Amino acid sequence: MRTVRIAAVSFLMDDGPHTVDRNLERAAAYVRGAAERDADVVCLPEAVTTLAVPGDPVAVVAESGAAWKPFFASLAKKHRINLVAPYLVRAAGRVYNQATVFHRDGTTAGAYRKVQPNGAELAYTRPGGAFPVMQLDVGAVAVMLCMDMHFPEIARIYALKGADILFWPTVTHGPTQESLLVQLRARAIDNSLVIAESNLAAAPPYAPYNGRFRPGNARIVDHHGDIVAQTGRRHGFAMADVDLDEVRMTSEVVLLREPDHTREDLERLLRLDLYADEYARLARRRTKRTS
């Protein structure tokens, strides 16, 4: 049995403009709160340092971005907790939407750069080009960011590379709340993954679509697609103890073993060569159209 206590944050975002320091102060409080609840790993929402900070995101990164990594590293070390901290980074003159994963001692386990930025982000960020699986003391973890959820290949690649937990830091409420939940559960079921969502919350009232772009829901979905913890639209923590060694029942869907060992059996059946050939043909066709 490998039991891990996961904390996903629904981050309170008050109305009005913020500062980076204000966001960092609130992030520190959530990390501290997760540690006080004996969480093994805590995940903050997407771009947590620049949320609601006015001005050009690139300028904000240039001004204070170098300090963000040591700040989060010190939090992980101080509270002896594994930490997923998403923030914008500048590298070789380019800006990326990145999530850095820290060990309990503050050292870096690795980082993921958003592979599928949305249209607005492409104005100031570059897409990443790698799918790292990072080893923590609780297991193998991976990250996808916001828009990545709409591309099922990403979760499947992580599953085939051995990820136990997939973190999904995001700032989103749509296209609908229901569609996000369907996608979240489908990615977990299709790939036998535990997925943890960290998002934003507004101050009360918590009515959906009340003129704010902050639905406020952190969720943890297990291998079967069941929601094992959520915050609703309130800020705080979705926390759950998850057994990563639990046998994943699939009601004889795979038909190799019963109970099915889903991840291993799906990998044996998966037609990677066929899919790779089809994707290669589609890529060549797109290249011809755009050249």
**Whether the predicted pLDDT of 107 surpasses 90:** yes
* DSSP annotation string for 44-74: PPTTTTTTT--S-HHHHHHHHGGGHHHHHHH
Residue 262's domain comprises 248-291
Residue 87 banded pLDDT, cuts 50, 70, 90: very high
Give the span between the Cα atoms of 141 and 72, in whole angstroms. Answer: 18
Q: How confident is the model at residue 204 (pLDDT cuts 50, 70, 90)?
A: confident
| 186 and 87 in a common domain | yes
Is the pLDDT reported for residue 267 higher than 90?
no
Q: Is the same domain home to 163 and 82? A: yes
Same structural domain, 174 and 272 = no
What pLDDT, on the 0 to 100 scale, is given for residue 232?
Answer: 87
pLDDT exceeds cutoff 90 at 41? yes
CATH of residue 188:
3.60.110.10
Q: Nearest CA to 109 among 83, 89, 128, 86?
A: 83
Task: Please state the rounded mean pLDDT for residues 90-98.
Answer: 94
| 132 and 21 within one domain | yes
Whether residues 73 and 158 fall in one domain: yes
210 pLDDT tier (thresholds 50, 70, 90): low
**What is the model's pTM?**
0.94
Contact 11, 199 (CB under 8 A): yes
Question: How far is 273 from 267, CA to CA, in rounded Å?
Answer: 12
Going by the DSSP 8-state scheme, the letter that residue 80 receives in this structure is T
CA distances (Å), origin 206, targets 7, 16, 147, 196, 228: 21, 17, 24, 21, 21
With cut-offs at 50, 70 and 90, classify the pLDDT of residue 209: low
Total structural domains within the chain: 2
User: How sure is the predictor about 255, in pLDDT bands with cuts at 50, 70 and 90?
Assistant: confident
Task: For 104-157, give the secondary structure using H, E and C.
Answer: CCCCEEEEEECCCCCCCHHHCCCCCCCCCCEEECCEEEEECCHHHHHCHHHHHH
pLDDT of residue 222: 96
Tokens of 1: 């049995």
Mean pLDDT of 227-248: 93
Q: Has residue 211 got a pLDDT over 80?
A: no
